Structure 1
Amino acid sequence: MKCFQFYIGKKKGELKMTTLNSVQSSFADQEVRPSGSEFNSQNVSDTSTESRGRSQFPNLSERPSNLKVFTFLELKQATKNFSRSAKLGEGGFGCVFKGVIRDSQDPTKKLDIAVKQLGPRGMQGHKEWVTEVNVLGVVEHPNLVKLIGYCAEDDERGIQRLLIYEYMPNRSVEDHLSTKSEIPLSWDRRLKIAQDAARGLAYLHEEMDFQIIFRDFKSSNILLDEQWNAKLSDFGLARLGPAEGLSHVSTAVVGTMGYAAPEYVQTGRLTSKSDVWSYGVFLFELITGRRPLDRNRPRKEQKLLEWIRPYLSDAKKFQQILDPRLDWKHFHNSAQKLSIVANRCLARHRKARPNMSEVLEMVNKVVEASTGVGNPQPPLKRRERRPTPGETKAQDKRRLIHKKIGARG
């Protein structure tokens, strides 16, 4: 997936800090604008609902945080000096490495971690780093990836900025939906992922005393733990929801092609309903096994939402968009019900879209209706035993007695 490109007019050498507070204050009055996006959207003013002096997350840094501050030396040792063999992947932020540390609660145990190291993107990457610390340092939910700690330290190469997360061994949902994946996600597991992701978004939107808009909800940002529980990750683009009395946050348009809501693309007006739209796109991703934007497919099939539109109104046609890698014999109705939820999320006007708590309720009903449907076992047939000669004589004698009794009637 292609993300929008950014620029910022600061020199790389201007950034020096050693504490988190100085990190946070360094971005108190900045908003990064895109240098141009494939959406061809205009650059949007950032002043209509947020004052220029307002920090992106002004209240969160004052809240108690359980984050551990790591030294760069500790992380070098944990990742074997950021060895290539420990590398898990690479994104716009930088590289991610697997590491091992001692469990702080039980030093005799070892704990697997994922270490994200900021790449040479400069100030924009730093801002996302700060946002991750601010958000994940104070929120906690089973469907959000846990941030264990961070590192902000100077060394001979300059400032080192790293984030340390719980390790998610089953990678991202995007990895498993990919055609390169040998074993596709089962439908039951896809429903569970949809449920987990909805819980995570509902928590961010409605279950705290402040609202967080994810702004970059997509399958690659949904990670799977050892038990295949889905957790939202990568909060670098997250924003606080609109202040009381305001309907939206005006901000520069950022995100990933294929997931962003149309009104946000066109106007830069961000609301929680922007995340709801992205969630609707994700549901069709689970149903079809296709990416929202795939340039490798025929021209008419490259944009997922445009391709599926003609197939949604007819039950027979609907079958043609289902992921061909799955056996849909018992799940066709379930997929149709989930597509109805997706369509509600993809209402053109944002006010017509449900809140995430309502979406979660609808997904729960789809999951409940689907429970126990998959892989039904046929009833066991009794193997008929042939009677012995003695048993045959006894049966014949009983039949004769019954006939005589019936005749006397």
Structure 2
Amino acid sequence: MRNEGDGAIYWKYVGRVLSNNKLNGTLDIGNSYSNNLTVDLQNNSISDFTQKASYNMVLKLVGNPICQGNGATERYCTIQKSNPSYITPTNSCTAVVCRSDRILSPNCKCAYPYTGTLHFFSFSFSNLENSSYFRTLAESLMSAFQSNQLLVDSVSLSDPTVDVYSYLQFRLQIFPSALDHFNRTGISTVGFLLTNSFPIPNYGSYSFKEESYCCFAGAKKPSNTGINVGAVVGSFVLVLFILGAGFYAFHQKREAKRAVQQSNPFANWDRDESSGGVPQLKGARWFSFEELRKCTNNFAEVNAVGSGGYGKVYRGTIASDQLVAIKRARQGSLPDALQFKTEIELLSRIHHKNVVSLVGFCYEQGEQMLVYEYIPNGTLKDALSGKSGFQLNWMRRLRIALDSAKGLAYMHELANPPIIHRDIKSTNILLDDCLNAKVADFGLSKLMEDTSKNYVSTQVKGTMGYMDPEYYTTQQLSEKSDVYSFGIVLLELVTARAPIERGKYIVVVVKNAIANLTDQYYIHDILDPTLGPSAKLGGLKKFVELAMRCVKDSSSERPTMGEVVREIENIMQLASSNKNFETEFTSSSYEGSSDGSKAFDYSGGL
């Protein structure tokens, strides 16, 4: 056993405690060590002692065979009682031999100390050779224990080291007062005080890592049965907690997903090229499938008001008691995703009295539904054919033409960017309860995003009989393509004939009728008989001439929709000044038809 000088500080200030370690043989002090060294070798089996130089050290050999009759070591074999000390004492106490693994305290009492390690993170001193810092630490600990009225007799600090993280640490032993052991309350209060890190001058913040206490008075070893039962109960509670947490997380995830879908119903929109990307909507409301199912009484046939190639249209009442028309795609023949998206986008940004308003839409559970304002008197085609149950006089037909033209002019000239409808026809012009006309069905519409060109190159789509022949041959869609289709609608208003009837094209039929005028009645042979003699129809000739200009083969020769609006307004003034002007409505059955119970083919070419 030699001290070769390493760890001099370690030995010098708090002493090296090697008691109760069963060390035996000869103790050789050597000649290389620091002064004032304290070494505690009590209760070992050391039988001899040698020295090679004079030294000044405190050596404790009490309880070793060497202390039996060897006068040379007598001063190391007695313990003299001294004043209380908080660091392992440098002086000796009266000879005391501790038994039953109790440890001698600095106040020379055998007791079971409460032990642990103090770790200091930011001590402010660098001179570790100054023992006053260590004494200050011990005094601060005792002062804290006494001020909190804890039954602590003394403390012993040993093994000061600086670890690889530059943290200073001590092994701390806290000895009880009055008894030779702490009770559970005493350990709890001492531990609580240390773990709450009261301030200690020069040492800064610290942590205390306790060791288990061995010796509670009257403590009984817990039975394995209690431990096992506690483990089972704890495991069961843990499993229940994990299951509950998992269920809660799943529920929250589902609610979050539902909230996202309501705020952004197109979160799962197919983003491939065919769908054209997520729709950009302005004010359209999202409806759940369940909402629309309830408001139509599970899509009952009694609420069906129209049908077409697209599917069926149902009448329903939403929460605000507003009547709506719900256009539902037929299962198995869902429309192109791009067409569905286009109609939603366009209608959500268009707000004009002569354009059908989009209330909302549904896009879930494999359904594609559009919710429009309810237009009770069906389509212009139904009204011209008599299917709606009322007749339209000449002035009302002019009003319908003007309303439709205003709706289209708004789309061409005021919408930003301009919109080309691409499917203007009499089945896409609807009549409200006052027989005002509204343009509907925007599934084929296109935006004029590049206003530097007057056309859009696109695949040909539309309805035969209404389609612009120039667009058909060049695949260049322009606003004048809508003008051509509207010209066909104007001819329908005059003749009540379909665009293609018995293989004859309405444009050719009207051209021939104009070329073969033989009597005083203008185009009498092709005029809708319900209008009466052409002589009574003020502005008829100008109206037909306007229609024929709209259906010119070359788009450059056609008027704009703004010009069409002004022409129709002039014709209406001419018609109203006609002495033969008739009353606005000519059908006694009109009032009964305004409830919408008549045919409501929302879009014959749906």
What TM-score bracket applies, with the shorter chain setting the length? 0.7 to 0.9
Contact 2:538 2:578 in 1 (8 A): no
Q: Can you list the C-alpha shifts for 1:313-367, whole angstroms capped at 9, x where unaligned?
A: 4364522221012223554342211001111111211011111101111111111
Gap runs ≥5 in structure 1: 1-16, 32-54, 104-109, 378-409
User: Is the 8 Å Cα contact of residues 361 and 369 (structure 2) preserved in structure 1?
Assistant: yes
Structure 2 residue 459 is the aligned partner of structure 1 residue 244: no
Counting only pairs closer than 5 Å after superposition, residues 108-257 of structure 1 correspond to structure 2 as 110-120=321-331, 122=333, 124-154=335-365, 159-178=366-385, 180=387, 182-241=389-448, 243-257=450-464
The change in CA–CA distance for 1:23 and 1:238 in structure 2 (over 3 A counts) is farther
Equivalent residue of 1:368, what SS? helix
Paired residue for 2:271, among 19, 22, 26?
26
Residue 163 of structure 1 aligns with an amino acid whose one-letter code is L
> Does the 8 A contact of 1:197 with 1:231 survive in 2?
yes
The one of 69, 72, 77 aligned to 2:294: 77
Contact 1:330 1:374 in 2 (8 A): no
Instruction: Sort the Cα spacing of 1:101 and 1:230 in 2 relative to 1 into closer, same or farther, 3 A.
Output: same
In structure 2, list runs of 5 or more residues that go unmatched: 1-259, 583-606
Contact 2:315 2:374 in 1 (8 A): yes
Q: How many residues align?
A: 318
The residue type equivalent to 2:286 in the other structure is: V
Q: Spell out the pairing of 1:9-408 with structure 2 (5 A cutoff).
A: 19-22=264-267, 26=271, 29-30=273-274, 55=276, 61-62=279-280, 65-103=282-320, 110-120=321-331, 122=333, 124-154=335-365, 159-178=366-385, 180=387, 182-241=389-448, 243-294=450-501, 297=502, 299=503, 302-313=504-515, 314=517, 316=521, 318-328=523-533, 331-373=536-578
Deviation at 1:183, TM superposition (A): 3.2
Query: Match of 1:82, SS?
Result: coil
The Cα offsets for residues 173-200 of structure 1, whole Å up to 9 and x where unpaired, read as 0111115454321111110000000000
**In 1: Cα distance, 2:581 partner to 2:393 partner:** 15
Do 1:293 and 1:303's aligned partners in 2 also have CA atoms closer than 8 Å?
yes
Cα separation, 2, equivalents of 1:374 and 1:151: 52
Give deviations 1:24-77, integer Å, cap 9, x for gaps.
Answer: 6636x339xxxxxxxxxxxxxxxxxxxxxxx59x9xx546x2211111111111
1:262-290 C-alpha deviation (Å, 9 max, x unpaired)? 11111211000000000111100000010
- CA shift for structure 1 position 90: 1.0
Deviations 1:202-256 (A, max 9, x none): 0000012211000000000000111111000110000012513223211111111
Structure 1 residue 375, shift from structure 2 partner:
5.5
SS in 2 for 1:246: coil
Q: Residues of 2 paired with 1:277 and 1:329: CA distance?
A: 24
- The two structures, once aligned, show a CA RMSD in angstroms of 2.4
Corresponding residue number in structure 1 for 2:196: none
SS at match of 2:363: strand
Q: In structure 2, what residue type is equivalent to 1:149?
A: G
What letter is aligned with 2:310?
Answer: F
| Cα separation, partners in 2 of 1:22 and 1:331, compared to 1, 3 Å | farther
Is the 1:184–1:326 Cα contact (8 Å) retained in structure 2?
Answer: no
| Aligned partner of residue 81 in structure 1, secondary structure | coil
Q: What secondary structure, in the 3-state scheme, does the structure 2 residue paired with 1:360 have?
A: helix
SS in 2 for 1:325: helix
The one-letter code sitting in structure 1 at the alignment partner of 2:302 is S
Alpha-carbon distance between aligned partners in 2 of 1:219 and 1:182, rounded to the nearest angstrom: 17
CA change 1:193–1:317 in 2 (3 A) is closer
Helix, strand or coil for the counterpart of 1:319?
coil
Does the CA-based 8 Å contact 2:377-2:432 persist in structure 1?
yes
Of stretches 325-334 and 360-369 in structure 1, the one that deviates more from structure 2 is 325-334
Residues in 2 aligned to 1:169 and 1:97: alpha-carbon distance in whole angstroms = 12
Query: Helix, strand or coil: the match of 1:200?
Result: helix
Q: Which has the higher contact order (CA 8 A, sep 6+)?
A: 1
* More displaced stretch, 224-233 vs 326-335: 326-335
Q: TM-score, normalised by structure 1?
A: 0.72
Closer/same/farther in 2, CA of residues 101 and 217 from structure 1, 3 Å limit: same
Alpha-carbon separation, structure 2, partners of 1:234 and 1:351: 26
Quick one: distance in 1 between partners of 2:372 and 2:291?
A: 14
Between Structure 1 and Structure 2, whose CA radius of gyration is higher? Answer: 2
Question: Residues of 2 paired with 1:274 and 1:99: CA distance?
Answer: 35
Q: Is the 8 A contact 1:93 1:121 kept in 2?
A: no
Q: How far, CA to CA, are the matches of 1:271 and 1:22 in structure 2?
A: 33
Q: Distance in 1 between matches of 2:576 and 2:268?
A: 48
Instruction: Report the residue type matching 2:514 in the other structure.
Output: L
User: Which segments of structure 1 move beyond 4 Å, counting only runs of 4 or more?
Assistant: 17-20, 22-25, 179-182, 374-377
Query: Could you tell me how far apart the structure 1 residues matched to 2:388 and 2:551 are?
Result: 28
Contact in 1 for aligned 2:423/2:444 (Cα 8 Å): yes
Question: Distance in 1 between the 2:332 and 2:461 partners?
Answer: 16
Amino acid at match of 1:325: T
Residues 243 and 193 (structure 1), Cα distance of their counterparts in 2 relative to 1, 3 Å cut: same
Q: Distance in 2 between matches of 1:240 and 1:289?
A: 31
Question: What amino acid sits opposite 1:249 in the alignment?
Answer: V
Matched to 1:307, the amino acid is: V
- Counterpart Cα distance in 2 of 1:245 and 1:125: 29
